[in-house]
Chains A and B, each alone.
Chain A
């Protein structure tokens, strides 16, 4: 079955960077349309869409809010996507999720499979 398994919890100081991984299995990582999105959720708050990566081409797009701070990459040899957030602030403390765009499975413009989430804590 399709699975997205994320890396473990991180504790970082303000100003540092964090890199979260999302290892996929159960489907063809580079199949057209299976973009991977990143979504975060601050404690007690709602979901916030951050951006996506096209695992086939490596192309990315992110929300304007994260301009200059977020980098999304992938390693096709190990079917894994990464999200790196730099210049961390306390309000970046959140659970970060990767989620698959289900377009190629018929779930157009929806996120059909999610990772388990990675807790990132930013504290001095």
Chain B
């Protein structure tokens, strides 16, 4: 299956909000409520930030929120902080025991 489509970059000033989109198809994002989001700082392993479209694991700040409409999922980071500067990847279950990632979005805090 093809990778999910994310914008390569997004930015915002401290305190502002930024929203990242993740577009798939009716076979992955549109078919299942199993979209997750990962934060990756340079040289580090990814970290789970959102699962099942909009749920936050314990320890993840409530500034991070997720949603989905049709074949597009979104991650919103509110009240941007310097430590939010990182790469963000969406992931979706794609059926038939397969998973697929998005291409990643680099978030810059201006």
Contact = CB atoms under 8 A, between A and B. Distances in A.
Given A107-B51, A109-B51, A109-B93, A49 B45 contact: no
A49 B100 contact: yes
**What class of interface size applies to chain B in its complex with A?**
20 to 34
A32 B22 CA distance: 30
Per DSSP, are chain B's interface residues mostly helix, strand or loop, or mixed? Answer: strand
B61 interface: no
A52 B48 contact: no
B6 to A, nearest CB: 8
Interface of B: 3, 32, 34, 36, 38, 40, 45-48, 51-52, 57, 89, 91, 93, 97-104
* A-B residue pairs, 7 tightest by C-beta: A110-B51, A109-B34, A110-B36, A114-B45, A46-B104, A61-B97, A47-B101
